[in-house]
Amino acid sequence: MTEANAAARLQELTERYGKLDGEALLAPFVEREFPGRIALVSSFGAEAAVLLHMAAQIDRALPVVFIDTGKMFGETLRYRDQLVARLGLTNLKVLKPEPATIAAKDPDGVLWHSDPDACCAIRKVAPLAGALAGYDAWASGRKQFHGELRAFLPVIEASGGKIKLNPLARWSKVRIEEAFAARDLPRHPLEADGFLSIGCMPCTDRVAPEADQRAGRWAGRAKTECGIHFL
């Protein structure tokens, strides 16, 4: 879609579905509005299982896109495989950065330390941008209670000529916890060790239980987002 078409579609979709959330919002986008043209992008992080379970209830063949940056925790990769098997997801798409790009721009693997924005750009943003070229819409698990740039996150938005869906945008931490219990979902193993938001290993720290949900991401820096949600 062009930017203009996406903006027009956004208005139409918001009028029709803007008051919904969760499965009630995701289902019509998967089944009617964008059949075969929508993907779910997941980090398989601390809260990812809730949205992944919803997707599995709607369509186990929905494309689930995971970006393996080459800097992921081993626990995340194992948790990913556990959830895929547990939920019966049949269309996991694992993206990786281009080896030639890594060799040219991050040969020593420490770009995350000197320039985390550039590291995210080559290891996350570029792979996802290429993969999403074949879709008109995509969904993520972002939530308003994560704060910072997410505080006023809408459930439906448009960017880059695509519709972006945030089915859990208005959900609270309490509601997420209740969903884990009600759906009998396994937790990410690093949560018990103090990691409340989990991304790449070098840029993820433990935080106190009462701290901001994403305080451990790029701790000590002004950076709060990897950049994929600016696509």
Instruction: Identify the sign of the CA torsion 25, 30, 31, 34.
Output: positive
CA distance 186 to 105: 37
Helix (H, G, I), strand (E, B) or coil at 138: strand
CA distance 225 to 124: 11
> Residue holding tokens 């330390």?
113
Q: DSSP for 63-78?
A: -EEEE--S-B-HHHHH
226 catalytically annotated: yes
Helix (H, G, I), strand (E, B) or coil at 21: coil
CA distance 192 to 182: 19
> How many C-beta neighbours within 10 Å does residue 135 have?
17
Could you give the residue numbers annotated as active site? 226
